[in-house]
Structure 1
Amino acid sequence: MMKFRVNLRGFMATRYPLTLVMRSVTRTASFSSSSRAKWECGISMVQGASRGIGLEFVKQLLEKDDKGHVVATCRNPSRAKGLHDLQNKFAERLSILPLDVTVESTIEESAKSIREKYGSLNLLINASGILSIPDVLQPETTLSKVQKSSLLFAYEVNAVGPILVIKHMWPLLKIGGGSGTERDVAVIANLSARVGSIGDNRLGGWHSYRASKTALNQLTKTISVELERKKDPIACILLHPGTVDTDLSRPFQRNVAKDKLFTKEFSAQKLLHIINNVKSSDNGKFFAWDGQEIPW
């Protein structure tokens, strides 16, 4: 205490008015208190949130934790009707930001906005992904249909994009926990797919989608090793949502058994249960919707 007085009176007081020093201390204390209060409520980010399971993640995060805040990102917020409907209901707790995983500057801008408004994150869900686009990208049932453009496009969206999001959000993910969870670590959850497992590949085909999800798995695993080495209180995991009844899977549902085709509500609920109970020892693991680990 004596040292503090000497520093304050001997150094600070000779250069700055005491009132200015005290205002600075007050602002710092106020900011810390405010940041702590926001953190205790939990700040979650869902990337790829305009529709499908990403939108459902946002909905359930808002509904199941009446104090938590959610940042939802997508390419075209003005066209994201589902998000705007949720914002009308949860105006104080939902922020919508533009983010295109193929344009790194939009990722940087989102990170800057989150830092300025919230200061930190305790959950990042990368939910975006592509499987098919009419006249642009179609799953390849045979090697003869593989195209360089399809491989590169799927890789850019399904693998490169989520990793760039992690790169820019990582500095914000420094505190673990959050209300409504059992966690003592922050969580990065990347939506992958069982078809990305090399060990589980018995049918072949779907070259671009498989390869891009396998790349996502490897990149996520590599990040998890770095997080552990640096002793960051973050667990980076991969999740397989099952075959979910969304726009992504709809053209390919014909041969899916009814009990294997999940609603987005069911899948998001199962995955959030896994996320909310993640432990530091789960860092780098690949989980299916039912909590079972998937082989690499």
Structure 2
Amino acid sequence: MASAVTLVQGASRGIGLQFCKTILKRHPGSVVIATCRQPNSSTGLQQLKAENPDRLDLCELDVTKDEQIGNVVKFTKERHGKLDLLINSAGMLHTSGRGETSLRDVSREGLIDTFNTNTVGPLLMAKHFAPLLKSGSGYFGIKSPDSKTQHTSILVNMSAKVGSTTENQLGGWYSYRMSKAALNMCSKNLSIELGRGSKPVICVSLHPGTVDTDLSRPYHKNVPKLFTTEYSVDCLMDVVESLTMSDTGKFFLYDRTAFPF
């Protein structure tokens, strides 16, 4: 059995794909399950699979489709029997590709589609994968010196600073801001429920910084500090590997700064 099993949801490109690359490199004895809507169409995933044929599993998974989530749960259970790290990485700014700048841009369809991918999907992933997370080996993170229980696994929801109601000074981006604020509440709720029992799971939200990806590309000219995916994910994995149960339910930036909801 692999020393650790990680599932990256939304792995076709950008931060999700980089998580797969970084974890495979940093943890040689581990395996990664990379999921996205069309894994056969991702050149990056296909190349990574060719380089790691025995350590990378590719699965079709659209988080808006419950049946596909169930299929990947079954695959993970039968092939690996556990899950040590779940990263919900898939996200969308808006169906149009740009955030709403005012109320006149808000639509029911845009709100629902954004919430479905950014909030509902990660919550249902947590629901269906919770038993496998509870069966994890505790490979990632560290145990608190005063802890009487060993955590099993870690659940990461990729969030964003713009989802913080405390820090919102500019407005706009209704769908994206609201969906990420709700995702942070999702992480908090999960930390309470999955934190119970003798094998609790650490649940956190993480902000990757502004990264050079398709999602942020329309706004690069206004960004004072733009990160590569490699740098961002290296920082995020440093955070993941430093987590203890005292961190569960929190929202961290890429540099491990705790950020207000």
- Normalising by structure 2, we get a TM-score of 0.93
Check conservation: 1:176, 1:233, Cα contact below 8 A.
Answer: no
Q: Which one-letter code corresponds to 2:230 in the other structure?
A: E
Query: What is the rounded CA distance, in whole Å, between the counterparts of 1:213 and 1:171 in structure 2?
Result: 25
For residues 129-168 of structure 1, give each alpha carbon's deviation from its aligned partner in whole angstroms, at most 9, with x where no partner exists: 00144xx353111122211111111111100011111111
Query: What is the rounded CA distance, in whole Å, between the counterparts of 1:157 and 1:232 in structure 2?
Result: 29
1:203 to 137, 156, 170: 170
Aligned residues: 253
Q: Relative to structure 2, which stretch is displaced further, 181-190 or 208-217?
A: 181-190
Aligned residue in 1 for 2:17:
55
Identity over aligned pairs, percent: 44
Check conservation: 2:84, 2:137, Cα contact below 8 A.
Answer: yes
> Does 1:95 pair with 2:57?
yes
Query: What is the rounded CA distance, in whole Å, between the counterparts of 1:216 and 1:293 in structure 2?
Result: 16
> Does 1:277 pair with 2:242?
yes
Q: Quick one: structure 1 residues 137 and 60, their matched pair in 2 at CA, closer, same or farther if it must change by over 3 Å?
A: closer
> Does 1:146 pair with 2:106?
yes
Aligned residue in 2 for 1:229:
196
Q: How does 1:95-244 map to 2 (within 5 A)?
A: 95-133=57-95, 136-174=96-134, 175-178=136-139, 182=142, 184-185=150-151, 186-244=153-211
List structure 1 segments (4+ residues) > 4 angstroms apart after TM superposition: none
For residues 13-52 of structure 1, give each alpha carbon's deviation from its aligned partner in whole angstroms, at most 9, with x where no partner exists: xxxxxxxxxxxxxxxxxxxxxxxx43xx111111100100
Superposition deviation, residue 213 in structure 1: 0.5
Superposition deviation, residue 182 in structure 1: 3.5
For residues 102-153 of structure 1, give each alpha carbon's deviation from its aligned partner in whole angstroms, at most 9, with x where no partner exists: 11110000000000000001000000000144xx353111122211111111
Query: What is the rounded CA distance, in whole Å, between the counterparts of 2:42 and 2:196 in structure 1?
Result: 39
Specify the SS of the correspondent of 1:253. helix
Check conservation: 1:176, 1:234, Cα contact below 8 A.
Answer: no
Check conservation: 1:62, 1:68, Cα contact below 8 A.
Answer: yes
Check conservation: 1:137, 1:150, Cα contact below 8 A.
Answer: no
Structure having the higher helix fraction is 1
Query: What is the rounded CA distance, in whole Å, between the counterparts of 1:142 and 1:151 in structure 2?
Result: 13
C-alpha root-mean-square deviation of aligned residues, in Å? 1.4
Query: What is the rounded CA distance, in whole Å, between the counterparts of 1:219 and 1:153 in structure 2?
Result: 17
Unaligned regions of 5+ residues in structure 1, if any?
Answer: 1-36
- Normalising by structure 1, we get a TM-score of 0.83
Aligned residue in 2 for 1:261:
226
For residues 30-87 of structure 1, give each alpha carbon's deviation from its aligned partner in whole angstroms, at most 9, with x where no partner exists: xxxxxxx43xx11111110010000000000001111111110000011011111011
Query: What is the rounded CA distance, in whole Å, between the counterparts of 2:253 and 2:198 in structure 1?
Result: 26
Query: What is the rounded CA distance, in whole Å, between the counterparts of 1:157 and 1:90 in structure 2?
Result: 29
Unaligned regions of 5+ residues in structure 2, if any?
Answer: 144-149
Q: Which has the larger radius of gyration?
A: 1
Specify the SS of the correspondent of 1:243. coil
Aligned residue in 2 for 1:11:
none
For residues 185-236 of structure 1, give each alpha carbon's deviation from its aligned partner in whole angstroms, at most 9, with x where no partner exists: 3100000000101111111111110001111111121111112234542100
Query: What is the rounded CA distance, in whole Å, between the counterparts of 1:105 and 1:137 in structure 2?
Result: 27
